[in-house]
């Protein structure tokens, strides 16, 4: 049995996306598991859009083999519900596959299920999540993360990616691919959250490293080592590297790469410069290095992004 846990002001797609995946997959697998919507407040549970789902009480999830927690505007209140946390702890202890979509990771974290584990959440929650749960090994750019029987996924539509991965694990890749085709989505989305997140807010950073990143953005054609950035920030290299990753969720070198990718993407898509010229101008040095960086972030080389921009 698959249980989808919702709460007042949940994000509708966080629940509806996985529900649709499991429903369609069940048709292809010819052995569908029952799907139940549960909540600490049973009955009609209103989503942030105003559309409500009818939920059963938490006891209905007692025998679930998969328990997925939605995210949404009401997540902080849900994360403090002792009955919800008790359900999650009991489910994880008995080996149930426990998962979250988007900010639903806060509920898992409050239940203690993410301490010391790898996890992800919506890119917009990265800074707050890191500050609130320093014991979680947050992988901010991942679409979804599996750590043993605990799964977490990125923002909203990433719940579909997570559910498809579960379908592949349960029924095989063929069923997952057929399900994705029926839903007209990718069965394995390429690239990370950075392609959707304005590079994890590094374009318009906030916090104590905002001036440093603004400076770095104006000097991308130069070598921007950890040592040079630390000097610009007035810190030792070791302390700077640790503090920077703790606040932003990425290493300094990864932040610089993302800033370079962001500038390169704009120039590739909006201009006619040779890729070699773009690569040199923003510090990649050569087009092959830039190509590899594009594939890591977008799942496509620069030429593909340029062709798509021209065809749009």
Half-sphere exposure of 198 (CA within 13 A, CB side): 7
CB 132 within 8 A of CB 109: yes
What SS3 class is residue 124? helix
Active site residues: 102
pTM exceeds cut of 0.85: no
d(CA 287, CA 214): 24
Partner residues linked to 38 by β-bridges = 5, 56
* 81 phi and psi angles, rounded to 5 deg: -80, 115
Q: Tokens 């950073």 — which residue?
A: 205
DSSP assignment of 179-205 equals: HHHHHTS-SS--S-GGGTTTTTTTSS-
More confident residue, 295 or 91: 91
The conformational region for residue 154 under phi > 0 = left, psi -120 to 50 = alpha, else beta, is beta
**In the chain, which residues fall in CATH 1.10.10.60?**
210-311
**Pick among 1.20.120.450, 3.30.1300.10, 1.10.10.60, 3.40.50.620: CATH of 210-311:** 1.10.10.60
The answer, yes or no, to whether residue 1 has pLDDT greater than 80, is yes
Beta-ladder partners of 54: 44
Say how far apart CA 147 and CA 127 lie, in whole Å.
21
**Residue 90 pLDDT > 50, yes or no?**
yes
Average pLDDT over residues 146-166: 92
The burial of 95, by beta-carbon neighbours within 10 Å (0-12 exposed, 13-18 middle, 19 or more buried), is given as exposed
Instruction: Report the pLDDT value the prediction gives residue 165, as an integer from 0 to 100.
Output: 92
Q: Which regions of the chain carry the CATH code 3.40.50.880?
A: 2-193
* Residues forming beta bridges with residue 5, ordered by sequence position: 38, 69
User: Which distant-in-sequence residues (6+ apart) come within 8 Å of 312 by Cβ?
Assistant: none
pLDDT of residue 170: 93
pLDDT at 250: 80
Specify the 3-state DSSP secondary structure of 100.
strand
Highest mean pLDDT among 107-111, 179-183, 217-221: 107-111
For the segment 193-204, the average pLDDT, to the nearest whole number, is: 45
What number of CA atoms fall less than 13 Å from residue 153's CA on the CB side?
A: 25
- Which has the higher per-residue pLDDT, 165 or 204? 165
% of the chain surpassing 70 pLDDT: 91
What's residue 29's pLDDT?
94
> In the CATH hierarchy, which top-level class contains the domain 2-193?
alpha beta
Using the CB atoms, write b or e for 131-159: b if 16+ within 10 Å: eebeebebbbbbbbbbeebbbbbbbbbbb
Mean pLDDT, all residues of the chain: 89
**Strand-pair partners of 45:** 53
Confidence band, pLDDT 50/70/90 cuts, at residue 206: low
**Average pLDDT over every residue of 260-278:** 89
Q: Helices marked H in the chain — which ranges? A: 12-29, 75-79, 82-93, 105-110, 126-132, 158-171, 173-183, 210-217, 226-233, 237-248, 252-270, 275-281, 287-298, 302-311
What is the rounded CA–CA span in Å between residue 281 and residue 239? 30
CA atoms within 13 A on the CB side of 17: 28
């Amino acid at each position: 049995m698959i249980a989808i846990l919702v709460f007042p002001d949940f994000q509708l797609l966080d629940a509806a996306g996985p529900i649709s995946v499991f429903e369609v997959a069940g048709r292809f697998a010819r052995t569908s598991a029952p799907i139940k919507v549960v909540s600490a407040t049973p009955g009609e549970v209103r989503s942030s859009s105003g559309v409500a789902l009818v939920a059963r009480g938490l006891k209905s999830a007692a025998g679930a083999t998969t328990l997925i927690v939605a995210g949404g505007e009401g997540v902080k209140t849900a994360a403090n519900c002792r009955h919800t946390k008790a359900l999650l702890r009991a489910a994880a202890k008995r080996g149930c596959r426990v998962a979250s979509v988007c900010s639903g990771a806060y509920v898992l974290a409050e239940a203690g299920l993410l301490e010391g584990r790898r996890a992800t959440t919506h890119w917009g929650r990265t800074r707050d999540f890191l500050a609130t749960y320093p014991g979680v090994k947050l992988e901010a750019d991942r679409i979804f993360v599996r750590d043993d029987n605990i799964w977490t996924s990125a923002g909203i539509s990433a719940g579909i990616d997570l559910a498809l991965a579960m379908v592949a694990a349960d029924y095989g890749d063929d069923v997952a691919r057929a399900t994705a085709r029926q839903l007209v989505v990718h069965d394995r989305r390429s690239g990370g959250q950075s392609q959707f997140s304005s590079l994890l807010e590094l374009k318009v950073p906030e916090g104590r490293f905002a001036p440093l990143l603004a400076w770095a953005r104006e000097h991308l054609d130069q070598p921007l080592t950890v040592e040079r950035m630390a000097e610009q920030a007035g810190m030792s290299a070791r302390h700077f590297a640790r503090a920077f990753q703790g606040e932003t969720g990425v290493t300094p070198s990864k932040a610089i790469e993302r800033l370079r990718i962001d500038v390169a993407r704009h120039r590739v898509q909006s201009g006619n410069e040779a890729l070699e010229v773009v690569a040199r101008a923003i510090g990649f040095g050569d087009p092959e290095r830039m190509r590899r960086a594009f594939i890591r972030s977008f799942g496509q080389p620069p030429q593909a992004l340029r062709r798509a921009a021209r065809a749009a």
